[in-house]
Amino acid sequence: MPYHLFKYNKSDSDNFTTIAHRGASAYYPENTMISFEGAIARGADMVELDVQLSRDGEVVVFHDEKLSRCTNGKGKISDYKLVELKKLDAGSWFGREYKGAKIPTLDEALNLCRDKIAVNIEIKTEAVDKNIRNGIEEKCLKVVGQNSMREHIVFSSYDPRALKHLKEIDSSVATAVLFEKGYYGSKFPSEIIELLGADAFNCSKNELSKKWLMNLKLNNIPVNIYTVNDKKNMRRFLELGVSGIFTNKPDILKMVVENIKQMPRKEIINRGDFQ
């Protein structure tokens, strides 16, 4: 299922998706409300954000297992209750002007994005309990439902258990595999998609090979590449026909997309081969 089907602008004939990685994170502190606002303002089609659980079971938006890189806190995010996490500064590490930015809840993030931009919710491996179901999948689906965003949400995860559990809860929910060799070994993308019943394949720019791209296209599997911030590689992957690109600079990617549209089709085909 291509990501462009989740866009709010259904009249848009462009079947490519510009995905703002943790928001417009080249310009704002990642995974904060101002970063999501920046992605919307810069014309992104979709926001990618990461979710984990607080100690009291609230779904919060944060990438790292530990707080130290992006806040003034210490220890694991799962060691703190939501009320404690809300006291932390999630902006000063990026710049003084962002002092006081808070760790958002998923509900707050979706409330901002609703009617404006689609969302890729990545469930972090750290949030999936190794022995029992800790409920993050159910809680995420509940928040999505409360915000009436079901048709504009894709779930992704490196952890196959999360993807399987989402489909067990609701087989119609859209999911995307985040590829990790440690989980899947030498399996082809199409085999992984079939194994998990997933709808799309998200892959590092360093992992995609010509063999993989052929496998994905032959099986009509959408492939989205992460994380691409330079124009040269943006053009390269666009010309190769990927479905979407995760970027910290959605405005730059949108500009490259528009430039590609103006290129003669023959030139695009000739330039789109792997080196």
Residues carrying an active site annotation: 21, 63
> In this structure, what are the phi and psi dihedrals at residue 270, rounded to the nearest 5 degrees?
-65, -30
3-state per-residue secondary structure call for 39-77: HHHCCCCEEEEEEEECCCCCEEECCCCECCCCCCCCCEH
Q: How big is the chain by its Cα radius of gyration, in Å?
A: 18
Please work out, in degrees rounded to the nearest 5, the angle formed at the alpha carbon of residue 154 by the alpha carbons of 152 and 157: 160
Which H helix or E strand runs over 169?
helix 160-169
Q: Which residues contact 176 (CB under 8 A, 6 or more apart)?
A: 120, 154, 155, 156, 198, 199, 200, 201, 202, 224
* 190, 192, 195, 200: CA torsion to nearest 10: -70
